Amino acid sequence: MLTQRISKLVTRVLMAVMILGIVALALPQPVSAAYPTFSIVSVKADDTVTVRTNDLPKNILFTIRMDVLGNRAENGVIAGSTNSGIGGNFDVTYKIPASLKGQKWIAIRFESDEGYYSYNWFFNNTSVTTPKPIPVTGTKPSLTFTSIKANETVTVEGRNLPANTTLTVRVGPYYTFFRDYVTTPSVKTDANGSVSFSIKLPSVVKNVERITVRLDGGGHFAYNAFINVDGGTTIPVTSTGSCQVVSVTPSASLPTKAEFDAVWTIKNTSSKTWDGGSVDFKYLSGSEMQKYEDRYDLHQNVKSGETVKIIVDMKAPASTGYYTTRWALVQGSTTICSLPLTVRVW
């Protein structure tokens, strides 16, 4: 039986490998350091949304998807397509799918067959100003963490924010922030656009490994994330030196004892090929939700720039609450990629 289970898993991993060449916000030419992004220009409730693209690569056909907020519009409803043409910046308007009418918040995603993608979200309300990134005028806005006490408090310092502005503070799990965040006491910036304050961490992030803090105010927002351990550090939100976690599922809450697949989509951002014969993915710590083994061979070479899906059969705990399991891609005693997963069980 064990051999059959491992054989089944190997087949699934092999079938899930996605060789994309260039994936997840990285441009194909090393001469450019820009990332394809887009911002929200305007919204007509339940009708249209207008976006402004930034740094799109040239002559790429993008599919535009929309979905309810929380899953980054992955596999969302197709709302149109756009060819980037000469690239750069331009405005374009899309119809909001009928199935999303009445939704308060909507996620929107650009993606292409070449592996480029970018996503954002907007309020589905004509009368509400949609938040936009704080403009960069020589110095970038920043949100850093100067002190972290696991499951208790975090001290935040914000710089280059809107001056003399009251900001809403939201805290939530890193991977499910837009669905599970809670609002904590607001803060106000000084005349220089700076603010320093401490947050008592809410129960929604208790024992959650990665936590996001977001500030909203004056029509702008800024956010960052940190590791929930004493003295923890800020999380690189795009990639590490060896890998990039492109996506993690499940993103929805689960009933008790539910069986599910934990799926990490990761990109090799190192300069070396991951050797399927010597690289494993294994359980490290946290809640033990795996149904079978706690270590598996990768069974697939993954070259620099390529992407692979890691899939583990799991079962939700019998009690309600938040559970975090920590896996990793390893080669011998070296951790190549940290693979945490937090689920909410109801």
Provide the pLDDT for residue 200. Answer: 95
pLDDT tens, residue by residue, 188-223 = 998 888 899 999 999 999 888 888 898 887 766 777
Q: Per-residue DSSP letters for 193-260?
A: S-EEEEEEPPGGGTT-SEEEEEEEETTEEEEEEEE-STT--B--SS--SSEEEEEEE--S-B-TT-EE
Residue 213 contacts residue 154 (beta carbons within 8 Å) = yes
pLDDT tens, residue by residue, 49-102 = 988 887 777 777 788 999 887 667 877 888 888 877 766 677 888 999 998 988
Provide the pLDDT for residue 160. Answer: 79
Provide the pLDDT for residue 234. Answer: 64
For residue 6, the Cα-to-chain-centroid distance in whole angstroms is 29
| 235 phi/psi in degrees, rounded to 5 | -85, 130
pLDDT tens, residue by residue, 255-269 = 999 999 999 888 887
Q: What would the mean pLDDT of 121-134 be, rounded to a whole number?
A: 62
Q: Which of 228-242, 262-276, 321-335 has the lowest mean pLDDT?
A: 228-242
Provide the pLDDT for residue 252. Answer: 62
Max mean pLDDT among 38-47, 107-116, 224-233 falls in 38-47
Neighbour tally for 322: CB within 10 Å:
19
Which domains, from first to last, does the chain contain?
2-21+239-345 (2.60.40.10), 37-114 (2.60.40), 142-227 (2.60.40.230)
Angle at 80 between CA 78 and CA 83, to 5 degrees: 130
